[in-house]
Chain A
Amino acid sequence: MRLAAEGLSCRRGARLLFEGLDVSVPAGHALVVTGPNGTGKSSLLRILAGLAAPEAGQVRLEGVEEPERVGGHAHYLGHLDAHKLALSAQENLAFWRDMLGRPGLSVDEAMEEVGLGGLGALPAAVLSAGQKRRLALARLLVADRPLWLLDEPTTALDRQAQASFSALARAHLETGGLMVAATHAPLDLTPSFELDLGAFRPRRPAALAPAEASF
């Protein structure tokens, strides 16, 4: 299995964020996307997930049926945790387990794994920001999807939770999973590549850039 993106460009409004970006992530590897604020890390993840259309280029997941439909094989963890505050932690997780299909760990096992054991009956509204993030990470475990697309996965996590997240991520890579993570915090992931999006900024202001850009 290999995640391949070719010639990706991304436009937000009048601004071209990056262009001519090629991404190739083989099975068992992580791609860590870095770069200053506003260089398009989140936009890149949304494009890879199929949630946003790129200005140019295409994304494929080689080695699966329908390689164009990357989203169907991917977990997307964005800035928003996607919890319903009125439902309990357990109900939230059980919903995503049924919704996303291909069940992985049971709800209780996943809660235990991210250190939320015993808190399942609490409404998501009373969880702290870090606990909500842990609950969102538990979603990655209850459904078995090979590609993890993570946007700042360790936001609000304490140091111990960050370490246990790294362990979960490494375990996912060891079983042949793929990962693309946008982050500012150093993630202890091996084997991983790094992609500095700052380097893919268009040289000229986008408004002036002609269609036949120089490459």
Chain B
Amino acid sequence: MGRAFLALLRRDLALALRAGGGAGLGVVFFLAVVVITPFAIGPDLALLARIGPAILWIGALLASLIGLDRLFAADAEDGSLDVMVMADLPLELIAGAKGLAHWIATGLPLVVAAPVLSLLLNLSPASIGALTLTLLVGTPAITFLGLVGAAFAAAFRRGGLLVAVLVMPLTIPVLIFAVAATGTALGGTVAFGTPFRVLLGLSLACIVLGPVAAAAALRATRG
């Protein structure tokens, strides 16, 4: 079973990293959002530093959703999903492996790119550290919540925007606690650990429940 899980993880990573796989697209989109913001807001450095973490998080949230709509749809269209569900690996773990591969290919590069892009928004070193930590902990939550939308998108053609619309409301708690944790680095009455621990809890819950819900969605839509 572990072998099948690793095989699926390896295959999805290979597909994401090959030409046309779309692994780099998330980072490029993230870059575009962050670069364009100072132009819209103007050269007020204090303002940028204050709202920078929120902008970076919104950018990361949108970038994480890129490519999710094809996660199961591509496998459904070429018949792979049919063969996959007949393997001994439970559908929950199939969804989990695909989610993990998607996070490594799309989410992790965002975490790595965030400190560099923070400089564009005049973030202080403490903010950059806090932001990177919250992204590392929070982006898996986004991806695994997105699995549910991805599973539904497999049943509908042109499910692209649908995934974003379905998933984004679910990510609000993650966004609130992640940005709150980053905000504590700028001074405030709450310690960094308080919202950060809630974020950790949310992330762990999403990692466990996301694949289960995605498997249920796949079963329901494929009947």
Contacts and interface: CB of A to CB of B under 8 A. Distances in A.
Binding partners A and B: yes
B87 A91 contact: no
What range describes how many residues of A lie at the interface?
20 to 34
B44 interface: no
A132 B78 CA distance: 12
Contacts of A50: 86
Interface string B1-25: 1011011101100110011110000
A99 B79 contact: no
Contacts of A177: none
A80 B82 CA distance: 9
Given A52-B223, A87-B11, A98 B86 contact: no
Interface string A85-109: 1110001001110111100000000
Given A72-B88, A82-B80, A99 B15 contact: no
Interface in B85-112: 85-89
B86 A82 contact: no
> Which of A50, A81, A84, A96 gathers the greatest number of chain B CB atoms within 10 Å?
A84
B15 A98 contact: no
B3 A76 contact: no
Given A53-B223, A72-B88, A74-B86, A101 B80 contact: no
Contact of A91 (B14, B21, B79, B82): B14
Contacts of B222: 51
Nearest to B7: A98
A203 interface: no
A98 B3 contact: yes
B82 A99 contact: no
A70 B3 CA distance: 22
Interface residues of B, number: 28
A55 to B, nearest CB: 11
Contacts of B84: 99
B15 A84 contact: yes
B153 to A, nearest CB: 18
A80 B4 contact: no
Nearest to B4: A99
Nearest to A80: B79
A202 interface: no
B4 A98 contact: yes
Interface string A28-54: 000000000000000000000111110
Interface string A46-85: 0001111100000000000000000110111011111111
> Which of B8, B14, B78, B82 gathers the greatest number of chain A CB atoms within 10 Å?
B82
B15 to A, nearest CB: 6
B82 A78 contact: yes
Contacts of B40: none
A86 B18 contact: yes
Contacts of A81: 78-79
Contacts of B3: 98, 101
Contacts of B83: 76, 82, 96, 99-100, 139
Contact of A101 (B6, B20, B88): B88
B78 A99 contact: no
Contacts of A76: 82-83, 86
Contacts of A139: 83
A147 to B, nearest CB: 10
Given A86-B18, A98-B7, A71 B79 contact: no
A86 B15 contact: yes
A79 B89 contact: no
A53 to B, nearest CB: 6
A107 to B, nearest CB: 12
Q: Which 8 A-B pairs have the closest CB atoms?
A: A80-B79, A98-B7, A82-B79, A71-B86, A82-B80, A86-B18, A95-B11, A82-B83
16 contacts: A50-B86, A52-B223, A53-B223, A79-B79, A80-B78, A80-B79, A81-B79, A84-B78, A87-B11, A87-B18, A98-B6, A99-B84, A100-B4, A100-B83, A101-B87, A101-B88
